[in-house]
Chains A and B, each alone.
Chain A
Amino acid sequence: MGNKQTVFTHEQLEAYQDNPFRQRIAQVFSEDGDGHMTLDNFLDMFSVMSEMAPRDLKAYYAFKIYDFNNDDYICVWDLEQTVTQLTRGELSAEEVSLVCEKVLDEADGDHDGRLSLEDFQNMILRAPDFLSTFHIRI
């Protein structure tokens, strides 16, 4: 974590746990989906979030992270959850639904009302920033 300490106080740990998707990351990379990671899972996570991971692999795991109900599609409910977590609930419900509608308009290629993995990957191709933001430096 950057210090040479080995024991951290609760406040220090809290300061490092502000990623809004931390629970989803833990669930996606853990073996049983319950959030408990073994060392291998931990290595998997850092391998995917490293610089060398190819774009499609990152897109695959990002899709799984944003798929809150694990139904292999990012539906409207998943999108609403994502936007709410991103803005810490500071957007009104109307704004959230407007954003979700615009996202589906832009990214849904086959017009079935939700994003499949292919739609997500196509959208990621158009976002050159993705590789630098979906990245944890070790």
Chain B
Amino acid sequence: MSQSLAFVLNVPETPQDPEDSQEPSPYDESEVHDSFHQLIQEQSRWVAEEGLELQQRVPGAGALGASGSDRQALLGPEGAPVYSTATLRILASMPSRTIGRSRGAILSQYYSRTVRLRRRAGRPQLRDVGRSARPSLRLYDLELDPAVLEEDEKRGLLVKELQGLTVAQRDHMLRGMPLSLSEKRCLREESRPPRGKRRARGHRGLLSCCSQLRDSCILASHNLGLALLSGLQALMPWHYALKRIGGQFGSSVLSYFLFLKTLLAFNTLLLLPLLAFIVGVQAAFPPAPSGSVPAFRGLELLTGGGRFTHTVMYYGYYSNATLNQPCASPRDGGQCTPEAGGLPYNMPLAYLFTVGVAFFITCITLVYSMSRSFGESYRVGSTSGVHAITVFCSWDYKVTQKWATRLQHDNIRTQLKELLAEGQLRHRPPRACGRLWQAAVLGLVWLLCLGTTLVCALAVYSFSELVLQSRVSAERDGALLALPLVVCLLNLGAPYLFRVLAALERHDSPVLEVYVAICRNLILKMVILGILCYHWLGRRVGTLKDQCWEDFVGQELYRLMVMDFIFTLLDTLLGELVWRLISEKRSQRKGKPEFDIAGNVLELIYGQTLTWLGVLFSPLLPAMQIIKLLFVFYVKKTSLMANCQAPRRPWKASHMSTVFISLLCFPSFLGAAIFLCYAIWQVKPSSICGPFRTLDTMYEAGKVWVRHLEEAGPRVSWLPWIHRYLVESAFPIYLASALLLAVIYLNIQVVKGQRKVICLLKEQLSNEGEDKIFLINKLQRIYERKERSRVGRTEEAVTPPAVFTDDWDAQ
């Protein structure tokens, strides 16, 4: 390594503009290494001669904070870096300083990225590169390549590289470039594949004609896709309303309304297959009317019974035969016109499959959106760095109103103060008996809340037994509303009790308080729903032996939904409007109530659970839910604008949406799926109505069909085989579970390894930073010494330093 090379550091004497990036820098890194090595040798020799101490760190006088950190600071006494112009010139040529540079630097940086993308090459072989610390720099960095320096040439190269990428990659690359829009537009125009001239088409070969056709097809489809996308954006509902809400209340309140929109999408996704394959078909082939149809009274809108019972709304209407079948044998001597080309439609099978497939699609969509939301909002190491994230990422640029921005200022100030206080608290460990007392209070409050939940569950159970025993018949429709009323009252009242109890306990972090409140409310709602499900499937089925119990369950769920909607309206009215009036009269200043995000979201999740529970028994229930969600949106928006203010607690909007969708998936959808599976596999359907009236379980419809296929012949024998060995037997499930567990374990190990790698890289980064500062300080000292020795040389004759060959005197 130590060659005695006469190194020429070609740095001219006259100070030039350090921003001129085309300037000579030590490109050739091996020479730089050598020169530094020799400089260090020289300096140690001088130091040994003059007996100075080598200082490796410069804790400048402008070090941060009164305590003085051990961080190396490049600060001089005034707080600004003090370097000679020669050092500054070298610093300005450092490859990491790309941000302040000309567009040429950005272009060349993106050129190298594009090249890497196109060639898909990783780091080159070390032996090809020679002695250099940063091989990637050598091969790919256009900035240090002395051959190409002009901006236009760099731009031309970039355009050529962009042409080699696919359309999607090019758009992605262009979108990420920090250039102005007009430049990006020019680059995109230039990098489009050139269109051949029309009149010359005849002269070209067939191959180029095909490629032109292909290119124009691709372009046309791309434009069509863009037009569709913009059309879709225009179709999206409530765009302006959401903008206003975001502008006045910030991202956290907006997350509630976005969640509502997501639920609307899920319900539409659920409704479409049901409409197409069940409701539509049955409506086109109505069964023979059985008995008299009762007249329409207004009460049906609340109870769902009466006139609505024998319509497509409920399970009992659907026939159990094959519709539109060309009849082979005329029954009871009647005329049977065989419809040539009519498709026979097996209604029971269609019912079972459509409900199953709709649930499956919903499950996949839910899990996908949950995992994507989780991936976006949780990072390895995201709990550290709270201060930096609060300072840089907490100002919401959406907010436009003056009073809302003032609220934001207050929120951020409070957050920063809390963080500082927390930091100081951590230095002082809390007393042991204080913690014991806190734990005792926490335990007591939890006990009380769970006790309240138990009491509510018992109340619902006993009331449902009472209703069962009093044998409410269909005439006394009004009394059917009693159970839903009780359930909704409990769902409304118990959370207020929880809030009162939660005021007793004191949590360290306000976010934890919110999560605990959500947890308690969720437990209450799920327990009540569980009791109701047991009541329907366990008790009602037995009581309503000769009647259509599925219709009854569907109607119960309809009633619950309607009651829930009415109580939501009441809660909005009482909780927000009346509260605001009272608080305005009591205290003269404007003390508007806060918008309770958690409570409202839980209500949405509860409503959606009811829909999922009832889909099997009432296929049109998602349509009711859609109408209900539309109303709730407008009611909540109006109430929000008029009565509420944004919550004071810091809410991380992205964490919240992840939590919301996880809660939608885990207790809510999972519970509904378990209910559905139990109803399909274990419960005997009623024998007088519905598509499964002659079967033992609903699932038997599928088994009957498979048997039918087996008899049909050897051509479709693979389907019964799949049914027998994959669906009926338990072995594939065990295998799938074992595989899933193995995959999860491997992923956990991978994440652990990545965490370790991140730690190591952080250490390496900090070491590199220290190295850099050390080298820069050394460089600075070299130049200072050179200056001093030069100045000294003009005064007296001193032997020139052996390292540098001075070209300067020669100039």
Q: Is the CB of A117 within 8 A of B99?
A: yes
From 39 to 76 in chain A, residues with beta carbon under 8 angstroms from any chain B beta carbon are 40-41, 43-44, 47, 49, 52-54, 56-57, 60-64, 66, 70-72, 76
Partner of B768, one of A66, A110, A137: A110
* Binary flags per residue of B404-428, CB closer than 8 Å to A gives 1, else 0: 0110010011001101100100000
Partner of A126, one of B97, B379, B766: B379
B768 to chain A: which residues have CB within 8 Å?
Answer: 110
Give complex CA distance A127, B303 in Å: 49
From 356 to 398 in chain B, residues with beta carbon under 8 angstroms from any chain A beta carbon are 376-379, 381-382, 384-389, 391-398
Q: Is the CB of B773 within 8 A of A57?
A: no
Give complex CA distance A133, B254 in Å: 12
Q: Is the CB of A106 within 8 A of B387?
A: yes
- Closest Cβ–Cβ distance, residue B56 to chain A (whole Å): 14
Q: Is the CB of B73 within 8 A of A113?
A: yes
Give complex CA distance A126, B381 in Å: 7
Q: Is the CB of A91 within 8 A of B417?
A: yes
Q: Is the CB of B72 within 8 A of A128?
A: no
- Closest Cβ–Cβ distance, residue A126 to chain B (whole Å): 5
- Closest Cβ–Cβ distance, residue A86 to chain B (whole Å): 5
Give complex CA distance A53, B575 in Å: 40
Given contacts A52-B175, A54-B175, A106-B387, contact A137 B398 (CB under 8 A): yes
A88 to chain B: which residues have CB within 8 Å?
Answer: 409, 413
B100 to chain A: which residues have CB within 8 Å?
Answer: 70-72
* Binary flags per residue of B622-655, CB closer than 8 Å to A gives 1, else 0: 0000000000000000000000000000001111
Given contacts A52-B175, A56-B176, contact A111 B770 (CB under 8 A): yes
Which of A1, A83, A86, A128 has the largest number of chain B CB atoms within 10 A? Answer: A128
From 105 to 135 in chain A, residues with beta carbon under 8 angstroms from any chain B beta carbon are 105-113, 116-118, 120, 123-135
Q: Is the CB of A43 within 8 A of B388?
A: no
Q: Is the CB of B769 within 8 A of A110?
A: yes
Q: Is the CB of A136 within 8 A of B397?
A: yes
Q: Is the CB of A19 within 8 A of B397?
A: yes
Q: Does B75 sit within 8 A of A, measured CB to CB?
A: yes
Which of A79, A97, A136 has the largest number of chain B CB atoms within 10 A? Answer: A136
Q: Is the CB of B423 within 8 A of A102?
A: yes
Q: Is the CB of A134 within 8 A of B397?
A: yes
B240 to chain A: which residues have CB within 8 Å?
Answer: 2
- Closest Cβ–Cβ distance, residue B244 to chain A (whole Å): 6
Q: Is the CB of A72 within 8 A of B99?
A: yes
Q: Does B71 sit within 8 A of A, measured CB to CB?
A: yes
* Binary flags per residue of A14-27, CB closer than 8 Å to B gives 1, else 0: 11101111000000
Q: Is the CB of B75 within 8 A of A99?
A: no
Q: Does A95 sit within 8 A of B, measured CB to CB?
A: yes
B181 to chain A: which residues have CB within 8 Å?
Answer: 40, 43-44, 47
From 226 to 260 in chain B, residues with beta carbon under 8 angstroms from any chain A beta carbon are 240, 242-244, 246-247, 251
Partner of A132, one of B64, B73, B97, B653: B653
Q: Is the CB of A133 within 8 A of B96?
A: no
Q: Is the CB of A15 within 8 A of B401?
A: yes
Given contacts A111-B766, A132-B251, contact A64 B99 (CB under 8 A): yes
Q: Is the CB of A124 within 8 A of B398?
A: no
Which of A53, A77, A106, A138 has the largest number of chain B CB atoms within 10 A? Answer: A106
- The interface size of chain B toward A, counting residues with CB under 8 Å, comes to 74
Give complex CA distance A137, B252 in Å: 15
Give complex CA distance A56, B409 in Å: 26
Q: Does A90 sit within 8 A of B, measured CB to CB?
A: yes
Given contacts A87-B413, A100-B64, A113-B72, contact A57 B401 (CB under 8 A): no
Give complex CA distance A97, B420 in Å: 11
Q: Is the CB of B652 within 8 A of A129?
A: yes
Which B-chain residue is minimally distant from A118 (CB atoms)? B96
Q: Is the CB of B378 within 8 A of A135?
A: no
Given contacts A18-B402, A111-B766, A126-B381, contact A101 B397 (CB under 8 A): no
- Closest Cβ–Cβ distance, residue A52 to chain B (whole Å): 7
Partner of A128, one of B79, B379, B395: B379
Give complex CA distance A128, B286 in Å: 53
B770 to chain A: which residues have CB within 8 Å?
Answer: 110-111
- Closest Cβ–Cβ distance, residue B419 to chain A (whole Å): 8
B379 to chain A: which residues have CB within 8 Å?
Answer: 125-126, 128
A41 to chain B: which residues have CB within 8 Å?
Answer: 180
Partner of B413, one of A91, A112, A137: A91
A124 to chain B: which residues have CB within 8 Å?
Answer: 392-393
B416 to chain A: which residues have CB within 8 Å?
Answer: 83, 87, 91, 95, 99
- Closest Cβ–Cβ distance, residue B197 to chain A (whole Å): 32
Q: Does B772 sit within 8 A of A, measured CB to CB?
A: yes
Ordered by A's residue number, 26 sampled pairs between the chains whose C-beta atoms are within 8 Å are A2-B243, A52-B175, A54-B175, A61-B178, A63-B99, A72-B99, A72-B100, A76-B79, A82-B392, A86-B391, A88-B413, A91-B413, A98-B420, A103-B387, A103-B388, A110-B765, A111-B766, A111-B770, A113-B64, A128-B376, A128-B379, A128-B382, A128-B654, A130-B392, A133-B396, A137-B247
Q: Which 4 A-B pairs have the closest CB atoms?
A: A110-B769, A18-B405, A128-B377, A102-B387
Binding site for A on B (CB under 8 A): 64-65, 69, 71-75, 79, 96-100, 172, 175-178, 180-182, 240, 242-244, 246-247, 251, 376-379, 381-382, 384-389, 391-398, 400-402, 405-406, 409, 412-413, 416-417, 419-420, 423, 652-655, 762, 765-766, 768-770, 772-773
Binding site for B on A (CB under 8 A): 1-2, 14-16, 18-21, 40-41, 43-44, 47, 49, 52-54, 56-57, 60-64, 66, 70-72, 76-77, 79, 82-83, 86-88, 90-91, 95, 97-113, 116-118, 120, 123-138
* A83-B391, A103-B387 known, 17 other contacts, Cβ within 8 Å: A18-B401, A20-B409, A56-B176, A57-B178, A60-B99, A82-B392, A99-B391, A103-B388, A113-B64, A118-B96, A123-B388, A123-B389, A129-B652, A129-B654, A132-B653, A137-B242, A137-B243
